[in-house]
Amino acid sequence: MGSFSIWHWLIVLAIVLVVFGTKKLRNIGSDLGGAVKGFKDAMREEQATPKVEDKVHTVEGEVTHTTKSQ
């Protein structure tokens, strides 16, 4: 009673197709696919770039001369 049979899902799919139409559903599917692809590319790009801590270099030295600003 808690789960739907295949016939329930087919009726729901038919109603969705009638309400939205196949062209709009195809556009939604391609937009969703493009968003997922963009997310995967961004994650891959972030893993490929080194972190900020890897780029920082500390230069140590001794101060030999100071001047006062007026």
User: Distance between CA 33 and CA 27 in Å, rounded?
Assistant: 10
Is 38 within a domain?
Answer: yes
How many domains does the chain fold into? 1
What pTM, to 2 d.p., does this model score? 0.46
Is 29 within a domain?
Answer: yes
State the pLDDT confidence band at 60, using cuts at 50, 70 and 90: confident
Is 1 within a domain?
Answer: no
Is 33 within a domain?
Answer: yes
The owner of tokens 């590319």 is 41
Residue 39 belongs to domain spanning:
21-51
With a cut of 70, say whether residue 55 has pLDDT above it.
no
